[in-house]
Amino acid sequence: MKTHFAATLLAIAVMCPALAEGQQAFQPPTGPTPRLPSGKVDFSGVWQKPYVPDMTKDGKEQKGLAELPFTPWGEAEWKKYDAAEGDYTGACLPFGMSRSVNTPEPMQLMQSDKYFTFLFEQNSWFVVVPIDGRPHRQGIATWFGDSVGHWDGDTLVIDTVNFNGKTRLDTIGHPHSDQLHLVQRFTRPDLGHITWEVTVEDPKTFTKPWKNARTFTLRPDWEMMEYSCEENNKSLWEGRIKVPKR
């Protein structure tokens, strides 16, 4: 029996190079929380994030919420959603803030006293967030919304509003409206980790705010790579993926 088990493990190691090369067992560098010269916590680095295709599910480094508190409108939007009838991401349209953080591809964070910047590898998108105390900009609604940040002690709070309502919260398609309000809280308890929490508020879609909590891992061995979604998106060109009509 032990022989069979060992053989199975060996087969897994051979067939899954990520395991064979110890990627699952990656240990980030250890050390104290890094800070900018100003004393603010520095979140800079390339970060491995858990892939969260469904925010109602728990996973490695991810705590979801099983039952979303839908309003009747939100429930109807969810029930009628069928990715086969149109998934905007299949057309390489902007994922939006929530779904970008949910991707398995890494993100690089860069920071000064004035700005905090998300560099998402997914489709090479970026989001620049002023963190110097200025208010939200007034203007047209966008795919990623408008983000500003402020400090709550050593926690950086990123507040995002003014979404265009054309995105989904996750790959499986949980809905939101243009009234979506995301609050992301970043803390860095040590050199190698970020503790992240998002609060999803959207009075048109949900009866009350709800949360996901995750851990991001520093990957100094990774560099960001180009991701051109349009380069060979043949599934769209050949008609197997539809663009949503909205």
Partner 1 sequence: MSTKVNMTRFSLMAAGLAVALAQPVSAHHSFAAEFDANKTVTLTGTVTKLEWMNPHIWVYLDVKDDKGNVQPWQCEGGPPNTLTRNGWSQNSLKVGEQVTIDGALAKDGSKTCNARVVKLPDGRSVFAGSAGGDYPPTPPKK
Output phi, psi for 15, to 5 deg: -85, -15
**Range in contact with partner 1 (rule: CB under 8 A) among 92-100, 130-138, 141-149, 156-164:** 92-100
Residues in contact with 188: Cβ distance below 8 Å, sequence separation at least 6, in sequence order:
33, 34, 41, 42, 43, 154, 194, 195
Quote the CA–CA distance of 217 and 10 in Å, as a whole number: 27
Q: Please provide the distance, in angstroms rounded to a whole number, between the alpha carbons at the two ends of the chain.
A: 57
- Closer Cβ to partner 1, 14 or 128, answer by number: 14
Q: How far is the CB of 215 from partner 1 (least distance, A)?
A: 16
- In the list 35, 134, 137, 234, the residue contacting partner 1 (rule: CB under 8 A) is 234
Is residue 242 within the footprint of partner 1 (CB under 8 A)? yes
Those residues with Cβ within 8 angstroms of residue 98's Cβ, 6 or more apart along the chain or in another chain: 55, 167, 169, 170, 176, 182, 198, 200
Which of 61, 65, 71, 78 contacts partner 1 by CB under 8 A? 78
Does residue 126 interact with partner 1 by CB under 8 A? no
Query: Rule CB under 8 A: which of 14-53 touch partner 1?
Result: 14-19, 21, 23-24, 51, 53
Residues contacting residue 216 through CB under 8 Å, at least 6 positions apart: 47, 48, 49, 61, 193, 194, 196
Structure tokens at 43: 């979140």
Which range in 78-86, 129-137, 158-166, 209-217 contacts partner 1 by CB under 8 A? 78-86
Q: Does 77 bind partner 1 (CB under 8 A)?
A: no
Phi, then psi, of 146 in degrees rounded to 5: -110, 125
Cβ atoms of residues 147 and 159 within 8 Å: yes
Member of 98, 162, 171, 184 binding partner 1 (CB under 8 A): 171
The residues that touch partner 1, with contacts defined as CB under 8 A, are 8, 11-12, 14-19, 21, 23-24, 51, 53-54, 56-57, 78-79, 81-84, 86-87, 89-90, 92, 95, 99, 102-105, 121-123, 171-173, 222, 225-229, 231-235, 238-242
